[in-house]
Amino acid sequence: MNTNFLWGGASSAPQMEGAYRADGKGLTIADVITVGGKTKAREITAGVKEELFYPSHTAIDFYHTFSEDLKWLKKLGLKSYRFSISWARIFPNGDDPEPNEAGLAFYDKVIDTLVSYGIEPIVTLVHIDFPLNLTEKYGSWTNRKLIDLFLRYAQTVMERYKGKVKYWLTFNEINHAIPKNDLASAIAFMSSGVELEKYENKEQAVADVVYHMLLATSKTVLLAHSIDQEMKVSIMNSMIPIYPDTCNPLDVMESVKQSEDDFFLLDVLCRGKYPAYKLNKYKMAGIKLPVLPGDEEAFKNGTIDYIAFSYYMSNVASVDTSKVKVQNAGFSVGIDNPYLETTPWGFTIDPVGLRYSLNVLYNRYQLPIMVVENGIGGEEELVDGEVHDNYRIEYLKKHIVQLKLAIEVDGVDCFGYHTWTPIDLVSGSSGEMEKRYGFVYVDLDNQLQGSGKRLPKDSFYWYQNVIKSNGEEL
């Protein structure tokens, strides 16, 4: 492994920060999504309802505990830390005439602390906490006006953190803005801020949303390079490999066609134009893209600098529709894989799928790759001040073995790996606190009641040694 390899961790503002109205922060879409569970979907409400519970309102209170929490990252030995800036802390309504200095001051402290600790800050501009006003006033990303508003936000923080933040991501898991099934509406809302149920032609609405988000990304690449040529910009895709159920050519073709719904987003941003297969699919469905003069040039010149993806699970495709069902807690539709186990929340556990993903993405795009999320959530018990999470160690160990094979055997240019997440936080998919992902235990329950005390788990010391040995000791 390269000695400069970025062994890191990742998090997001709405799952960490809390303080949802502190110091001028505006409401975000995360602030109107209720808590869910293993068998209960999260719900989107029209504004904040006093009788309901919204995890983002308090989360783990990172807004007030960041100094302590960042010390844990330093002790862990992280080389890099991916986190998100909340747009609504900088522009509370998304379209305010001036930025909120109090919000910027908070991120000044976070970024300056990371830099002082020798931890590379990696910033996501939008991670499931889009300003709610932009959804209510403009219809979110169905409206082209959001591109300019997003660029103004991006310019504000990029100019502020020039020389401190090199790696940027525009949007988190953009492919989840395209719902795979009827249960994925909350997931799509978190990705784009659009309630698709309100649109008569959902397919056209999704096409508009994705087009505007992709165009905003290309324009952000150009903006970043004009501010600082050292800045590197990408977007984040959720990588869910889709295997064919059998060697029946029809199953193989089904897996290819399903994969296109995820790949076309990166095809646009890596190749500078929409791929023929997607344009033809739109044409057959009667969908027209909202293209304006200058868009083609922006896509062509604003290609991303690297590939970034999350990896948690894989899926299986079949042409036999009688076997197909919702999989992976609503993130995909397919059939069970008899060769793989699943987590209590229904995510398939497939370490080889990480190596597969790295190979497919690198061979397709020939760009450097950063794994920006990988991890496993589980219910854990604090006993005598200790948490024995061997299941997490085994999960990550098997995935890192496959990561190393992709790099050292297959020749994939991967320069970073980030676990989700260093410190327990609120789950994005279920809203639960007790679905724990971290190396550091946070003493809070699903109602976010408890002492809030931070305690290192067994996995903390294991990952600390992985980093120290540059992946040699697993």
Catalytic residue flag (residue 136): no
- Cα dihedral 56, 41, 185, 320 in deg (nearest 10): 140
Catalytic residue among 120, 173, 195, 254: 173
Rounded distance, CA 114 to CA 111, Å?
Answer: 5
Residue 434's nearest CA partner among 36, 25, 8, 33 is 36
Q: Are 293 and 284 in contact (CB under 8 A)?
A: no
Q: Compute CA distances 126 → 87, 236, 248, 301, 451, whole Å.
A: 7, 10, 41, 22, 30
Cis peptide before 421 (omega within 30 of 0): yes
- DSSP states of 160-189 as a string? HTTTT--EEEEESSGGGGS-SSGGGHHHHH
With b meaning 16 or more CB within 10 Å and e meaning fewer, what string describes 147-170? bebbbbbbebbbebbeeebbbbbb
Rounded distance, CA 147 to CA 35, Å?
Answer: 30
Tell me the backbone φ, ψ of residue 34, rounded to 5 degrees: -75, 170
Rounded distance, CA 277 to CA 271, Å?
Answer: 14
Catalytic residue flag (residue 203): no
- The residue count of the chain comes to 474
Three-class SS of 12-39: CHHHHCCCCCHHHCCCEHHHHECCCCCC
Helix axes 101-116, 62-76, angle to 10 degrees: 10
Burial of residue 324, with CB atoms counted within 10 A of its CB: 0-12 exposed, 13-18 middle, 19 or more buried: middle
Q: Would you give the distance in Å from CA 116 to the centre of its chain?
A: 26
Give the residue numbers marked as catalytic.
173, 373
